[in-house]
């Protein structure tokens, strides 16, 4: 089986993180490239602002060279957490199982605190989007427990990669 590298865009949503302190973004960048994928562009950090998030993600959705967008942060319950609200209106289809599986896997690590996660997956303009909590542990859970395999064309019985050409069909 042949590996198909994807162009992946990474966005960190945080009012406080910088390039140096964004442990989750650093982790995801390392994992994406170690898996053989390409960065669509350098990782971006934006504040918890629905309209800035929506604008950046809309730009990537419109770019036919970007196949996957991973957004870490802004999925909690506080007043500033608005990543799901920024992303949901952009989706053509929601992947309900992503959030469900993330919370199931997360339960093993943080027990009932997982209900505070609003992890989200979906598709927009044939681009896969995944919103995950911003903690390094949550990013590890999402990558190791779900995304690493689903973004690998060799994963069987199925994976997201094999769906990409069909998503572009009209």
160 in a structural domain: yes
57 in a structural domain: yes
pLDDT at 97: 97
Structural domains counted in the chain: 1
93 in a structural domain: yes
CB within 8 Å of 48: residues ≥ 6 apart: 13, 14, 15, 73, 74, 80, 81, 82, 83
pLDDT band at 99 (very low <50, low <70, confident <90, very high): very high
pLDDT at 114 over 70: yes
115 in a structural domain: yes
pLDDT at 168: 73
Please report, rounded to a whole number, the percentage of residues in the chain having pLDDT higher than 70: 99
pLDDT at 8 over 80: yes
151 in a structural domain: yes
Mean pLDDT confidence for 32-51: 96
pLDDT at 58 over 70: yes
19 in a structural domain: no
CB within 8 Å of 72: residues ≥ 6 apart: 10, 11, 12, 13, 24, 25, 28, 132, 133, 134, 138, 139
CB within 8 Å of 79: residues ≥ 6 apart: none
Mean pLDDT confidence for 15-31: 96
Question: How does the average pLDDT of the chain come out, rounded?
Answer: 96
Mean pLDDT confidence for 103-108: 96
Residue pLDDT, tens place only, 69-90: 999 999 999 999 999 999 999 9
139 in a structural domain: yes
4 in a structural domain: no
Parent domain of 128: 49-65+86-167
pLDDT at 48 over 80: yes
Mean pLDDT confidence for 116-144: 97
Runs of H (alpha helix) within the chain: 23-34, 50-62, 83-87, 96-110, 136-142, 148-150, 164-167
Say which CATH number the domain at 104 has.
3.40.980.10
Mean pLDDT confidence for 108-121: 95
Mean pLDDT confidence for 49-53: 98
pLDDT at 170 over 80: no
Evaluate if pTM is beyond 0.95. Answer: yes
């Amino acid at each position: 089986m042949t590996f198909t590298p994807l162009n992946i865009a990474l966005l960190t949503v945080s009012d406080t993180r910088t390039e140096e302190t964004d442990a989750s973004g650093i982790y995801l960048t390392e994992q994406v490239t170690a898996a053989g994928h390409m960065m669509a562009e350098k990782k971006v950090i934006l504040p918890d602002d629905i309209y800035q998030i929506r604008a950046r993600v809309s730009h990537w959705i419109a770019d036919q060279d970007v196949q996957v967008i991973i957004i870490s942060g802004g999925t909690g319950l506080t007043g500033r957490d608005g990543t799901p609200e920024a992303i949901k209106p952009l989706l053509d289809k929601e992947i309900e199982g992503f959030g469900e599986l993330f919370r199931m896997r997360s339960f093993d690590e943080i027990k009932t605190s997982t209900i505070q996660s609003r992890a989200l997956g979906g598709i927009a303009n044939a681009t896969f989007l995944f919103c995950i909590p911003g903690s390094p542990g949550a990013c590890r859970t999402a990558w190791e427990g779900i995304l690493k395999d689903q973004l690998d064309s060799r994963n069987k019985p199925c994976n997201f990669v094999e769906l990409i050409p069909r998503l572009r069909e009209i």
